Amino acid sequence: MSLLYKALLSYMIFMLLNSTAYAFDSENGEALHDDNCVRCHKHSLYTRKEREVKSYSLLHERVVQCELMSELIWFDDEVNEVTVYLNQSFYHFNQEK
């Protein structure tokens, strides 16, 4: 089974199972993050004083940049879940901004 096919299949199953749940699951975001994102930097990057990210939309952008740089091929939902996870755990931005 090709990777893409597997990814599509698990996405469809995920959407079916989650069709009644709330929009973005930050627990899944945490798992995605811890599996893929701690290779280059630790959690402390998000809480250091001179951190770069200054708003929710910039955080989202940064997650996309790091995702692409890591050669991950994430769905928008996965990017959103990781952004929500980082925001809830570290950044605490107003999501409207």
Q: Which residues bind ligand HEC (CB under 6 A)?
A: 33, 36-37, 39-41, 45-46, 51-53, 59, 62-63, 66-67, 69-70, 72, 82, 86
CA-closest candidate to residue 58, choices 25, 91, 24: 91
25 vs 67, beta carbon nearer ligand HEC: 67
23 vs 48, beta carbon nearer ligand HEC: 48
| Dihedral of alpha carbons 58, 64, 65, 67, sign | positive
The first and second tokens of residue 53, run together, are 């990210």
10 vs 70, beta carbon nearer ligand HEC: 70
